[in-house]
Amino acid sequence: MRSRQRMFAAVMRLLLKCLRLGRRRRFKLVRQVEQLWHYGHLCLRSLLYNSFTNGDVVLDSLFEPVYWLVDHVTRWFGVVFVALVIGLTSSIVAIVYICLLPLILQTYTPAWICWHLTYGHWNLIMIVFHYYMAITTSPGHPPQAKNDLTGVSICRKCIAPKPARTHHCSICNRCVLKMDHHCPWLNNCVGHYNHRYFFSFCLFMTMGCIYCSISGWEMFRDAYAAIERMKLLEKERLQVAANQTYYQTPPPTFSFRQRAFHKSVVYLWVLCSSVALALGALTLWHAALITRGETSIERHINRKERQRLQKKGKVFRNPYSYGSWDNWKVFLGVDVPRHWLTRVLLPSPHLPHGTGLSWDLPPCVTEQRAPLLTI
Residues tagged active-site: 183
CA nearest to 276, candidates 116, 123, 129: 123
Indicate the residue type of 152: V
Q: How many CA atoms lie within 13 A of 123 on its CB side?
A: 19
Torsions phi, psi for 17 (to 5 deg): -65, -40
- From 138, 169, 165, 141, select the one nearest 153 (Cα to Cα): 165
- Nearest to residue 189, comparing CAs of 301, 278, 74? 74
Q: How many CB atoms lie within 10 A of CB 36?
A: 10
From the CB of residue 254, how many other CB atoms can be counted at a distance below 10 Å? 16
Nearest to 364 by CA among 352, 349, 350: 352
Instruction: Confirm if 208 and 124 have CB atoms less than 8 A apart.
Output: yes
> Can you give the C-alpha Rg of the chain in angstroms?
36
Q: What is the DSSP string of 104-136?
A: HHHHS-HHHHHHHHHHHHHHHHHHHHHHHHHHH
DSSP 304-336: HHHHHHHHTT-----TT---HHHHHHHHHT--S
Nearest in space to 76 (alpha carbons), one of 171, 170, 169: 171
Taken as a whole, the chain contains a residue count of 375
Sequence-distant (≥ 6) Cβ neighbours of residue 263 within 8 angstroms? 223, 227
